[in-house]
Amino acid sequence: MTSPSPTLAEMDDLEVIREAARGEIKALAALYDRYAGLLLAMAHRMLGDKTVAEDLVQDVFMEVWRRAHAFDPARGTVRTWLLVRLRSRALDRLRSAQYRREVMVDEPREAVPVGTEDPELSPDRALVRQAMLQLPEDQRLVIELSYFHGLSSSEIAEMMGSPIGTVKSRTAAALGKLRAAMTTAQPERVRTQSHGGGLQ
């Protein structure tokens, strides 16, 4: 007998957002159930108004519905993608003279990595991604927000509702683990390259 397909509740975030990209409205509802509370808390901290924060979260999920097909797992987790989009829209509202945009921007501004090389652009990006998967979720999140989306430690602390010292310690711990993983993987990569020969 063919085993039954997993339910949305049993799927991981990547599988759910792919279902949303195929037009499955229940997948959007599943993402909402998982992350609406987190996004609402963050929006409330940034905007200071519960009603405006609720409107913003609804806007973000409508954007997710329209742009689920554009999600790129190479740039981070679904959770990070949602957080970055919420931050972008919250900053738009804070910067608006009317505190509320009349025209919705279909493609929100994505932050550009600053002050360091994006690991995705490195020749060792596959090793970096593999090492990232081994990090605890809280450490992986601060690295994704910092290095892939260019947020400062204070911005990450505000988004996560954590003390800045906690964010810095998580970043330091994550970088230490990534460095150790890369150092361990480096000899194996060199051996593979030497056996495989150079480019012709």
The rounded distance, in Å, linking the Cα atoms of 83 and 160 is 9
Tens of pLDDT, residue by residue over 149-162, are 777 888 788 777 77
Note the pTM of the prediction, 2 decimals.
0.57
The rounded distance, in Å, linking the Cα atoms of 38 and 57 is 10
The rounded distance, in Å, linking the Cα atoms of 160 and 158 is 6
User: What's the average model confidence in pLDDT over 86-106?
Assistant: 63
Same domain, 65 and 98: yes
Same domain, 106 and 64: yes
Containing structural domain, residue 14:
1-110
Q: How many domains does the chain have?
A: 2
pLDDT at 148 over 80: no
pLDDT at 107 over 50: no
Tens of pLDDT, residue by residue over 63-94, are 999 999 999 888 888 988 998 889 888 888 87
DSSP string, 154-185: HHHHHHHT--HHHHHHHHHHHHHHHHHHHHHH
Q: Is the dihedral of CA 50, 51, 54, 56 positive or negative?
A: negative
Candidates 89, 7, 10; CA nearest to 56 is 89
Express as a percent the part of the chain with pLDDT over 70.
Answer: 74
- Residue 189 belongs to domain with CATH number: 1.10.10.10
Same domain, 16 and 28: yes
